[in-house]
Structure 1
């Protein structure tokens, strides 16, 4: 089983990352839509959407939003917790396959939700699928970690305590992949999960985009949309479908 299918459906994934700064991501979305004004009612695809918090935030701001994710658990949670919003829908779906071709004004791919696959061919195919969901001249916003900075500042080992569980985390570069191994014990049971993300450079991304028919418009370096440089924590691409 692929690591992301097992890990993202685990309740421990949501425990470990429960303290992620969701407010920063919402600031990013607000800033982005102030920078590139979007007509209320525009169709937005959040892919993958996780448990749907950001899709719900967008729906509450007047957009027609679809959230899709490969995780059965995450989509079940989203449907249960955000069922009161008529302009919001959720589906289980693999982002490597187009969902609704030529339908969306915007496609969002946030929180390094890319680079999970084993080959560059699969990465390009995934981007092509994301692009197919867009109308002509629609916009894809893709948020990835700054590979150069991550590798320079890599914390090889750390312990994180959340809800009484001690997560022992090790990080290393294995070939082209940044691998995070997560070990912990809960209720007498030992667990081990991995995250495995391809360390993709901005130059490699530009090559992918060209093959996928996507043209970069802007590149930002954090959720406050400051210009990207090698010292920034993120690489946030704003791309248009050609």
Structure 2
């Protein structure tokens, strides 16, 4: 894939890390704790944190004694996360549309809306297929996505955030297919404009992707407390699927 896609460029930009420097680690740890209590994995289970970012979920999961691999497209993210590597925690740069092992993991986690960035349905299916192939028989896939209905209905159209001495002007919209976030700012003598775009994938479409990949959805939750999903009210759209 020769072209640089928006997420490849923006996620590897130093300004991305400035804007999002205050990611909620407590929320991430709370969610991992709830997942572990719910899934009850064997202590020898192998986990993959796919699109791991700077590794906040992977690092915490490893601190609970599990063998964890974190994969992310961003070189900067992997360089940062790798500082925490140990014998049971590894990080590698990887595009989720490309194979990353066959029957290697007991659990694959794709958390914090790290899906929906691709332009075509075939790319989405390709990524889900790679996830399914990487799971051992009986393995579990957890996908934590935004709830498109709630996000679209509650869009904050304009806001400003000052982080690291930079004022980011943020505007949000929905074009009928993608939830868009435009980010403009001046820094280091230059004007920058980045656009984040996440496809508003509905529950039914995800079910189709999973079925084609040979994954069976067991549960669908609507928040990090693992409450039932309600398409109008839920904060998240969280799938638990098995191979």
Q: Same fold, TM exceeding 0.5?
A: yes
Shift in Å, 1:60: 1.2
1:1-242 equivalence runs, <5 A: 1-79=4-82, 81-83=83-85, 85-230=86-231, 231-241=233-243
- Give the secondary structure class of the aligned counterpart of 2:138: strand
Gaps of 5+ in 2: none
Shift in Å, 1:187: 2.8
Give the distance between the partners of 2:56 and 2:178, measured in 1 at CA: 28
Shift in Å, 1:174: 2.3
Deviations 1:131-175 (A, max 9, x none): 111001100000000000011111111111212211101111224
Gaps of 5+ in 1: none
RMSD: 1.1
Q: How high is the TM-score relative to the length of structure 1? A: 0.96
Give the distance between the partners of 2:127 and 2:7, measured in 1 at CA: 15
Shift in Å, 1:19: 1.8
Contact 2:28 2:56 (8 Å CA) reproduced: no
Give the distance between the partners of 1:66 and 1:3, measured in 2 at CA: 25
Shift in Å, 1:12: 1.2
Give the distance between the partners of 1:176 and 1:195, measured in 2 at CA: 13
- Which of structure 1's runs of 4+ aligned residues deviate more than 4 A? none
Shift in Å, 1:53: 1.9
- Give the secondary structure class of the aligned counterpart of 1:89: strand
Contact 2:54 2:81 (8 Å CA) reproduced: yes
Q: How high is the TM-score relative to the length of structure 2? A: 0.95
Give the distance between the partners of 1:52 and 1:176, measured in 2 at CA: 29
Give the distance between the partners of 1:44 and 1:98, measured in 2 at CA: 16
